Amino acid sequence: MASKLLRAVILGPPGSGKGTVSQRIAQNFGLQHLSSGHFLRENIKASTEVGEMAKQYIEKSLLVPDHVITRLMMSELENRRGQHWLLDGFPRTLGQAEALDKICEVDLVISLNIPFETLKDRLSRRWIHPPSGRVYNLDFNPPHVHGIDDVTGEPLVQQEDDKPEAVAARLRQYKDVAKPVIELYKSRGVLHQFSGTETNKIWPYVYTLFSNKITPIQSKEAY
């Protein structure tokens, strides 16, 4: 195996199981799971300059613009120059992908293709704990007590944009924005697409792909 650091990106619409797959990759291969949503929440909580900028958009239910997300992620990546990592939620747009190009070369991009009906069903079963970003799914990782966060005991909420009519709009928006990013990585020969309705069935293929690039830190496929 090459000793070169692995730079990977995971792409997929809301509800595609990106978070679950990312956690498994991190556990099995020792990559740092770098989630743009997690860093946004941390920066907003810490009232950093970039956190305050992002907060203004989030409070108005607007998408955080490219330049804010890019600035946030660049500083996080700067701190992790010596680590293998997996980016989740970034780059979301072609502008973000071009900014990422300036600081490193991406080795591996995985894109999750999940049918619309599956996404709609998953998201309608999704409840979140907003302060921490913890996500529960009533089918495959329900809270111990219905409607209550396992860690804090605080109430869970269903986001407006997880409701069926909003899911269709989010998916359209994701496809429009992600298409040029997918095309870019496809043209470079680093894109690997996985299709299916169940994360557990997609996972072995993802595991095999990463095993060819980096030695697993666990001898068996951890779930």
Known binding-site residue numbers for a ribonucleoside 5'-triphosphate? 15-20, 126, 135-136, 199
DSSP class of 47: T
Helices in 82-124 by DSSP H: which ranges? 94-103, 116-124
Torsion sign, CA atoms 21, 22, 28, 29:
positive
Contacts of 207 (CB under 8 A, 6+ apart): 24, 28, 216, 221
Phi/psi at 205 (5° precision): -70, -40
Residue positions forming the annotated binding site: 15-20, 36, 41, 62-64, 89-92, 96, 126, 135-136, 170, 199
End-to-end CA separation in angstroms for the chain:
24
Answer whether 10's CB lies under 8 Å from 18's CB.
Answer: yes
Minimal CA–CA distance to 100: which of 220, 12, 9? 9
Residue positions forming the annotated binding site for AMP: 36, 41, 62-64, 89-92, 96, 170
Which segments of the chain are extended strands (E)?
7-11, 32-35, 85-88, 108-113, 126-129, 134-137, 191-195
Q: Which two tokens mark 219?
A: 């001898």
